[in-house]
Structure 1
Amino acid sequence: MDSQSVRSSEAGRGRSYDAGKRVNGCKRMTAVDTEGNLLAVQITGGVISETAGGTDLLGELSEQFPDLRQVWCDQGFRRSFTDRAAELGITATVISRRPGSVGFHVLPRRWVVERFFAWISRARRLARDFERLMGTAITVVEVAYVRMTLRRLTRTAQPSAHI
């Protein structure tokens, strides 16, 4: 589970300033499975914290996937998030860097959601948030993911040219 801050056009309805990333736009809160497949997405204003947005997304996830038992998230998700997860019967593991580490380090499980963000950012329409309605913005993310998945399926389903 993670969020991505995205610049918005002036028409964007949920547009607000994310001081942490210095972006005037919105946040895409996403949850993916262990292979990077999209489970749920929410769009919030940039000012909404990861904890608040993640708590809402966690409620949605627990309704859609009642067997969900484990969630990995980054340091942006605070104690109230992990407390809410415990109430729902979900173990929330906050993955953080080792104290004193400098520079880039691949953190376990974190790269999966970051890879998902890289996958969907290839869709030109998701480079910036142009949508007026939050529901439309969510649908655009879902359609981009479906398109990417279908492209992968057609590549693996094609018969080989060498017969």
Structure 2
Amino acid sequence: MTDAEWAVVRPLLPVPAWLRGRGGQPEAYCHRAILDAIRYLVDNGIKWRAMPADFPPWDRAYAFFRRWRDHGLVKEFHDRLRARIREREGRDTEPTAGVIDSQSVKADAVVGSDSRGFDGGKLINGRKRHVVVDTLGLLLGVMVTAADTGDRAAAQVLLRQVTDAHHQLKLVWADGGYTGGLVEYCLTTFALVLAIVKRSDDQKGFVVLPKRWIVERLFAHLMHTRRLTRDYERRTTSAEAMIYWSLILLMTRRVARPHPRPA
């Protein structure tokens, strides 16, 4: 991280329990060094044990990653950064509209059969990432499942999580894979309008579809993060945490840039 990034990031970090008088052992390494180590691993796709000597020992970085994963601290940190970016863009911190979609990726050999499957539509043996983003392309929720999990079934669970966390969300755009009973289910259960954006039958070749390109841009960023080009995580919770860390890397760079003043 640059000094400008750290100046923005430091106040947004979750406060360790031992600093709040709740017990626990003080951490031996600076948060900045640990964050840099995890960001390096996610961005470059290395193994934990291949952590360069410039960073803290790999087992300390992994212990930090695991603790933040298990206690939801990585999501808390991510959500604080997202709120800061929305404020910079002149938006309310809570979104009212979003976009949902999924991405199937190949799974590494370490991924067990209990959390992997075959996506017959994409012909991919691995896992599927289900995401909801706001209209700025910032992540609102993510769920990783086996690749053979249906989009509609996963959307019921994911949209429940997202609407519980974002009470002002009223509209979500989706592609044709989310049609059927899910539209009525969202309206009656979550008071959420699920708007289907379909591709016209007479369109040929690549066409940018309204709203759906927003979530595709997020998927493109994930595939440029080497740790996420395929799923290397044994647990789906670790796969979800890696997605949050990838977007934290993107948002810290974005929030540290000088904001252009209106003319």
TM exceeds 0.5?
A: yes
Q: Deviations over 1:88-137 (max 9, x none)?
A: 10000010011222211111000000001112222110001000111111
* Residue of structure 1 in register with 2:29 after alignment: none
CA–CA distance in structure 2, aligned partners of residues 114 and 57 of structure 1: 18
Q: Does 1:68 align with 2:169?
A: yes
Q: Percent identity?
A: 34
CA–CA distance in structure 1, aligned partners of residues 103 and 110 of structure 2: 19
Q: Secondary structure at the match of 1:71?
A: strand
Note the C-alpha offset of 1:78: 2.4
Structure having the larger proportion of residues in strand: 1
> 87, 95, 103: which one pairs with 2:197?
95
CA–CA distance in structure 2, aligned partners of residues 120 and 17 of structure 1: 21
* Residue of structure 2 in register with 1:161 after alignment: none
Amino acid at match of 2:133: V
Matching of residues 24-39 of structure 1 within 5 Å:
24-39=125-140
Q: Does 1:83 align with 2:156?
A: no
* Residue of structure 1 in register with 2:154 after alignment: 53
Q: Secondary structure at the match of 1:6?
A: strand
* Residue of structure 1 in register with 2:109 after alignment: 10
Amino acid at match of 2:109: E
Structure having the larger proportion of residues in helix: 2
CA–CA distance in structure 1, aligned partners of residues 162 and 258 of structure 2: 30
Amino acid at match of 2:207: H
Larger radius of gyration: 2
TM-score (normalizing by structure 2): 0.58
Q: Does 1:152 align with 2:251?
A: no
Unaligned 5+ runs, structure 2: 1-99
TM-score (normalizing by structure 1): 0.92
Unaligned 5+ runs, structure 1: 158-163
> 230, 239, 256: which one pairs with 1:128?
230
Over 3 Å off, 4+ runs? none
